[in-house]
Every structure is written in C-alpha cells, then in structure tokens.
Amino acid sequence: MSVAEAVAARRSVRDLSARPVPAELFHRVATLAMEAPSSWNHQSRSMVIVTDPTVREDLIQATGGQRVAAAAPALFVFVGEFDDPKLDRSAVHDAAISRGAWTPDYSRGSARAAVRFQQDLKDRGLLREYAVKDAMIVASFAMLVAQAEGLATAPMNGWDEEQVKKAIGIDDRDDLVIALVMAVGYADQLPAHPGRLSHQHIFDSTYGRRFGVSKHIEN
C-alpha cells in the first residue's frame, strides 16, 4: 500500500474487532512510527502500547468508558516529554555523528542552539506545547503505518489526563504530557468517509487566499 493509499483508506474505526493482534505487529507499527521527525532530533516522546488487561481497563475508565476504547485489543498512548535544556542529549549527538549524518562541528553548534531554544521555550512556559507537537507527529505516523499494515485506528481526545497518566504509571511526572490515546486493532468494516472541506483550508501565501493549481511555481 502506498502512502497515498494509506492516507485515503484510513478511517477512525470505533467498532474495532476483538480479534487479537500479534505483539510483533504492534511493535512494527510503533518502531516505524518512531521514524517520525522531532524537534532537534531530540526524540522527546514515547509510545505506551497498552494490552495488559488491568491497565487497559483503567485506561478505558480514563476515557469515560468510551465504546471505541472498550472495543480495542490495544490502546496506544502517545506521551510528550518536556525537552528541558538541562537534559543530556549526548546519545542523540553521538548517534548522528557515528552515522555520518552530523559533523562534530554541526553537532556542537546545534547543541548550543538547542539549549538556547529550549531555554526560551521553558521561560515562556511552552515546553508542554512543544512536547505535544513531537508526540502528535508520531501519532500521525502511527495511524498511517497501522493502516498500511492492515490495522485500523481511532484517535481519541476524550480522556482525563490525570487518569491516563495514573493508568500507565506516570502520575508523579510533571515533565510528561499525554498527547493522544489511540485505539488500535483489526476492523471488520470501515465506516464511510465523513468528508473534508479541503477547499476552505488550503491557501496561497497568505491565510484566506485560495490556492490555484494552474500556476507555475519557481524558487
């Protein structure tokens, strides 16, 4: 399945089948989803794949007992991690240098710039918001990878953050934020596409000016 086909086929499936999914498949989806880009490549986000019956039950309660959560054989929780400027990022830099992706010079410059950038975010109280961005990109990748791997997903905003954190064992962590809970499993059938108002949301250079597809673009 191409990326375009996965994008076109994906639907939020609220009646997932109870059919078990092999753990390897969840792991494959998660590993590919983690290929998502992240700010400074700091990878300040995690996924918790919840299949344990007790944790799953607590999570279902955290969603207010939503049918979509209760039906799913697994719930993925996407966790953003506050990227505090003081955190040691040497593992990120060492990996990039050893793979030839970054030169030592680039690494040093980027490390200094990242500390300044993250300190500014911290001063402005934006670490949480930026942690959510990175986690949501992983969640978006996960939806499409799952689709391509024959699974279906249902993203959820309807949950109590404190309860979700408690369920997955991080209720004492102020540096972690829940970005999204997602039901994952097989779908017996896909719901109809509810439609998109794309023509109202794609603009040309300034917000509100309609993008015409006929013009030639150069840079």
Ligand X SMILES: Cc1cc2nc3c(=O)[nH]c(=O)nc-3n(C[C@H](O)[C@H](O)[C@H](O)COP(=O)(O)O)c2cc1C
**Which spans of this chain sit near ligand X (rule: CB under 6 A)?**
11-12, 14, 68, 155-158, 180, 194
Report which secondary-structure segment, H or E, holds 112. Answer: helix 104-123
- In angstroms, give the least distance from the CB of 162 to ligand X: 17
User: At a CB cut-off of 8 Å and minimum separation 6, what does 12 contact?
Assistant: 68, 153, 154, 155, 191
User: At a CB cut-off of 8 Å and minimum separation 6, what does 103 contact?
Assistant: 97
- In angstroms, give the least distance from the CB of 206 to ligand X: 26
On whether the CB atoms of residues 143 and 32 are closer than 8 A, the answer is no
Nearer of residues 13 and 168 to ligand X, judged by Cβ: 13
Phi, then psi, of 100 in degrees rounded to 5: 80, 10
On whether the CB atoms of residues 54 and 190 are closer than 8 A, the answer is no
Nearer of residues 86 and 196 to ligand X, judged by Cβ: 196
- In angstroms, give the least distance from the CB of 82 to ligand X: 20
Cα separation, 202 vs 51, in Å, equals 39
Over its C-alpha atoms, the chain yields an Rg (Å, rounded) of 20
- In angstroms, give the least distance from the CB of 7 to ligand X: 10
- In angstroms, give the least distance from the CB of 118 to ligand X: 25
